[in-house]
Structure 1
Amino acid sequence: MNYSDEFNKIIEEVSRMLGRPIHKDKYKVIDRGVPHSPQSLQTGMMGVYTFWYNGTFLKIGKAGPKSNARFFSQHYNPRSAQSTLAASILDDKNMKNKGINEDNVGEWIRNNCRRIDILLDVSLGIFALELIESALHYKYEPIYEGFVTQR
């Protein structure tokens, strides 16, 4: 599936419908593929990151311009922060049969998950970042977002 085109369509249609269009020159969608190598946020940028595996989105999150660690590295280490992709995978009983453990979970994510990033110019503001993250949450319902009991 061409998620890059779909993400572009979501960003353009939702922002235009709300009367504040986000123009293509203020953001870019980068499909890092599988395997992938995470990249740092550049100065003046913020981002939405997505992790896809086996037909579903696992995690979709955001990182502001001062949150490069969140964007670049925290999701690959289960002890680096609260609510990381690595910790969620280790806690998921459906993932137990894949030979994943605390020592190799980061490598497993890089080798098995498709990562697609949306980089936004900081001038768009935090509400644009949150809008895009929320729209993607709504559309794709990533399995490691929100509380299962609230679904």
Structure 2
Amino acid sequence: MTWLPDQTLADFVTVARLAGVTLATEDIRIEALPAPHAPPTRLPAGTMAVYVFTHGSDVLKVGKVGPKSHARYTSQHYIPGSAKSTLAASMIADAERLGLAEADTAEIGRWIRGEVDRVNILLPARLGVPVLTLLESFLQCRLRPRYEGFKSQRG
């Protein structure tokens, strides 16, 4: 699915308003990292984020990080085994369908940086985790990422 971050987030502002949350234009910052990309080096102070990984029109993963989740934001999705559920591990498990060669899976972090687009959506931490969770859930429903949650939870 090709998605338009600006339009999708305009729709999210409506969803947030329906939930009783008013978002100012400056409350949502979009950071597009097209492939090849360098992962972010830090989560900016006072922010939390939702991130979306895509490969072509395929939405791979949508996740969230609170204001203290620096490793999740900067590195874990590029390193299989670094956390319970990572993009890298999901892609290795699905290597045949993705057409990944053994060399690609051996260097999956490099492959993700070189071939996968990433969009970070930054929100002020003052908005709170419920708003962050609402945004993540909205994007998961809208974008239907291939690798969401654990394999046993996928439809």
Amino acid paired to 1:90: I
Instruction: Kindly indicate whether the alpha-carbon contact (under 8 Å) linking 1:90 and 1:96 is maintained by their aligned counterparts in 2.
Output: no
What value does the CA root-mean-square deviation take over the aligned residues?
Answer: 1.7
Taking the TM superposition and a 5 Å limit, the aligned residue runs for 1:56-67 are: 56-67=58-69
TM-score, normalised to structure 1, is 0.91
Taking the TM superposition and a 5 Å limit, the aligned residue runs for 1:65-144 are: 65-92=67-94, 93-98=96-101, 99-102=103-106, 104-144=107-147
Instruction: Kindly indicate whether the alpha-carbon contact (under 8 Å) linking 2:49 and 2:120 is maintained by their aligned counterparts in 1.
Output: yes
Query: Distance in 2 between the 1:47 and 1:149 partners?
Result: 23
Report % sequence identity.
Answer: 37
CA pair 107-140 structure 1, distance change in 2 beyond 3 A: same
CA offset at residue 150 of structure 1?
Answer: 4.9
Number of residues of Structure 1 aligned to a counterpart in Structure 2? 150
Instruction: Kindly indicate whether the alpha-carbon contact (under 8 Å) linking 1:10 and 1:135 is maintained by their aligned counterparts in 2.
Output: no
Query: Distance in 2 between the 1:31 and 1:144 partners?
Result: 20
Gapped regions of structure 1 (runs ≥ 5): none
Instruction: Kindly indicate whether the alpha-carbon contact (under 8 Å) linking 2:60 and 2:146 is maintained by their aligned counterparts in 1.
Output: yes
Moved over 3 A (4+): 96-99, 146-150
Query: Distance in 1 between the 2:133 and 2:153 partners?
Result: 23
